[in-house]
């Protein structure tokens, strides 16, 4: 199979541009030692070995790559023989993972070009669609990649950058351009539209006008992608430190509505700007946390994305006579079951989202032993952050949020004082409880037990 793919592709020498070591800024000092070990070892064994993809793109920008991907002309079995610390993964396309403690260097064999994958593969694979599992040459591999800036190869042999698609020029002008006809490439794999947004935001690159135009045309196709893959992509989109800009750009291209249809629905008919404000604040906070080196959790963001749809539904149900508790529980169930059709959500995520939502109403109790019990709830911190988010964006009582801020900081003695029932029911803070309750109902936070 390997030989047949190889023999079909003649090197397109005329198209290739080679940037020698002095013509680019990638130095070996920026490359992970383990990635270098892999490259050198492959070379020593007589194989070609390159870094490719995001790492080359990021190195050229002087950024630290997320990971280092290696491509070679060795096939997976040959790769396995070269490295002891190696495992083959993937069924459709076999890849090698070379393990160095916690760092994993992914080593792939050059992929064959789509055009040269013909009946032979179908026969070979007994009807199973394994057309990806065809190895090829670097000249074929390059055309399977998405953007020109993702198709630059760093050659360990002479430290040059090999460029078949004018990726260097695009890189210099900070342009994301699809290799080949944009519409065809988006149709082939609509996830490339999400990747376009992710890279544009992360790198500060602009989309090539042709690419942009096609995206407007075929955005809808994203809905054909399995929900599990869209969930993975959503995590990459929103947990990488540029969530707010990503959100705006996804909406601009009509992609957000495919990922979060119920949310988009609420946003397009929002009142007072509340849903948008809450979401924007949540996304912004999470970007700030990432910039500060703190962790962010997927469930918190998903809880924020879907909070408004849950509230809208719950209110409708209450208007039809359902009690608040049931209304919120049903609304949460329905919103989650709809959402998983777009982005599959793992069970631990939906459980955590429900908890964050249901704990919102528990904050109302500020007297007696309830506050101290709430404080030790494993989801207290997230639920409190969510309350703060709502309070800051007009969806909950700011005074209540402040009280909880103070309560959790206080020592035991102070906490006891804070939760003591008022001595005289009438004398202390008259009317307060009643007016507060009214407010909570308006903001529909009473989702006890959702």
Binding site for ligand ATP (CB under 6 A): 53-54, 66, 69, 145-146, 150-151, 189, 191-192
Residue nearest to ligand ATP (CB): 54
The answer to whether 274 touches 394, Cβ cutoff 8 Å, is: yes
The DSSP annotation for 325-355 comes to HHHHHHHHHHHHHHHHHHS---HHHHHHHHH
Please give the Cα distance from 212 to 208 (Å, whole number).
Answer: 6
- The residue among 153 and 363 lying less far from ligand ATP, judged by its C-beta, is 153
Please give the Cα distance from 68 to 264 (Å, whole number).
Answer: 36
- In whole angstroms, the minimum distance from the beta carbon of 192 to ligand ATP comes to 5
Is residue 67 among the annotated active site residues? yes
Alpha carbon separation from 413 to 133, 266, 402, 409 (Å, rounded): 67, 44, 18, 12
The answer to whether 235 touches 298, Cβ cutoff 8 Å, is: yes
Q: Map residue 120 onto helix, strand or coil.
A: helix
- In whole angstroms, the minimum distance from the beta carbon of 220 to ligand ATP comes to 18
The answer to whether 350 touches 335, Cβ cutoff 8 Å, is: no
**Residues near 450 by beta carbon (within 8 Å), at least 6 away in sequence:** 310, 328, 329, 331, 332, 354, 357, 358
Candidates 176, 360, 341, 147; CA nearest to 262 is 341
- In whole angstroms, the minimum distance from the beta carbon of 156 to ligand ATP comes to 18
Is residue 163 among the annotated active site residues? no
Residues 47-86 as x/- pattern, contact with Mg ion by CB under 5 A: -------x--------------------------------
- In whole angstroms, the minimum distance from the beta carbon of 150 to ligand ATP comes to 3
Q: Which of 58, 73, 146, 287 is catalytic?
A: 146
Residue 446 touches Mg ion, criterion: CB under 5 A: no
Residues 14-53 as x/- pattern, contact with Mg ion by CB under 5 A: ----------------------------------------
Is residue 146 among the annotated active site residues? yes
Please give the Cα distance from 73 to 108 (Å, whole number).
Answer: 9
- The residue among 150 and 263 lying less far from ligand ATP, judged by its C-beta, is 150
- The residue among 57 and 208 lying less far from Mg ion, judged by its C-beta, is 57
Structure tokens at 413: 């003695």
- In whole angstroms, the minimum distance from the beta carbon of 243 to Mg ion comes to 19
Please choose which of ligand ATP, Mg ion, none residue 151 contacts, taking the beta carbon within 5 to 8 angstroms, the exact cut-off set by kind: ligand ATP
Residue the block writes with tokens 């013509």: 23
Residues labelled as active-site residues: 67, 69, 146
Binding stretches for Mg ion (CB under 5 A):
54
């Amino acid at each position: 199979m390997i030989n047949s793919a190889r023999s079909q592709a003649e090197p397109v020498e005329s198209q290739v541009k080679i940037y020698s070591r002095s013509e680019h800024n990638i130095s070996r000092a920026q490359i992970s030692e383990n990635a270098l070990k892999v490259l050198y070892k492959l070379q020593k064994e007589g194989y070609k070995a390159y870094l490719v993809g995001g790492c080359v793109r990021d190195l050229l920008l002087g950024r630290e790559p997320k990971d280092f991907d290696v491509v070679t002309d060795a096939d997976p079995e040959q790769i396995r023989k070269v490295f002891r610390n190696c495992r083959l993964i993937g069924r459709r396309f076999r890849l090698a993972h070379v393990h160095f403690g916690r760092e994993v260097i992914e080593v792939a064999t050059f992929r064959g070009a789509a055009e040269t994958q013909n009946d032979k593969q179908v026969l070979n694979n007994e009807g199973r669609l394994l057309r990806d599992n065809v190895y090829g040459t670097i000249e074929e591999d390059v055309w399977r990649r998405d953007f020109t800036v993702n198709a630059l190869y760093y050659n360990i042999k002479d430290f040059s950058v090999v460029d078949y698609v004018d990726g260097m020029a695009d890189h210099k002008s900070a342009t994301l351009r699809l290799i080949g006809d944009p519409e065809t490439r988006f149709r082939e794999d609509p996830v490339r539209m999400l990747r376009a947004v992710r890279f544009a935001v992360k790198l500060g690159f602009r989309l090539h006008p042709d690419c942009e135009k096609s995206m407007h045309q075929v955005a809808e196709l994203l809905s054909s992608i399995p929900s599990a893959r869209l969930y993975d992509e959503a995590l990459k989109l929103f947990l990488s430190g540029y969530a707010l800009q990503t959100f705006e750009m996804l909406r601009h291209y009509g992609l957000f509505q495919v990922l979060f249809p119920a949310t988009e629905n609420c946003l397009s008919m929002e009142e007072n700007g509340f849903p948008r404000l809450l979401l924007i604040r949540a996304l912004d906070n999470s970007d700030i946390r990432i910039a500060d080196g703190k962790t962010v959790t997927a469930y918190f963001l998903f809880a924020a994305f879907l909070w408004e749809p849950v509230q809208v539904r719950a209110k409708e149900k209450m208007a039809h006579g359902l009690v608040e508790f049931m209304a919120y529980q049903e609304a949460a169930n329905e919103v989650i079951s709809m959402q998983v059709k777009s982005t599959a959500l793992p069970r631990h995520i939906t459980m955590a989202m429900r908890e964050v939502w249901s704990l919102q109403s528990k904050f109302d109790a500020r007297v007696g032993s309830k506050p101290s019990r709430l404080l030790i709830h494993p989801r207290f911190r997230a639920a409190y952050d969510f309350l703060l988010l709502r309070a800051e964006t007009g969806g909950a009582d700011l005074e209540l949020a402040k009280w909880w801020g103070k309560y959790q900081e206080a020592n035991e003695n102070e906490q006891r004082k804070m939760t003591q029932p008022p001595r005289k029911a009438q004398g202390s803070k008259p009317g307060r409880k009643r007016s507060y309750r009214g407010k909570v109902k308006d903001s529909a936070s009473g989702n006890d037990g959702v």
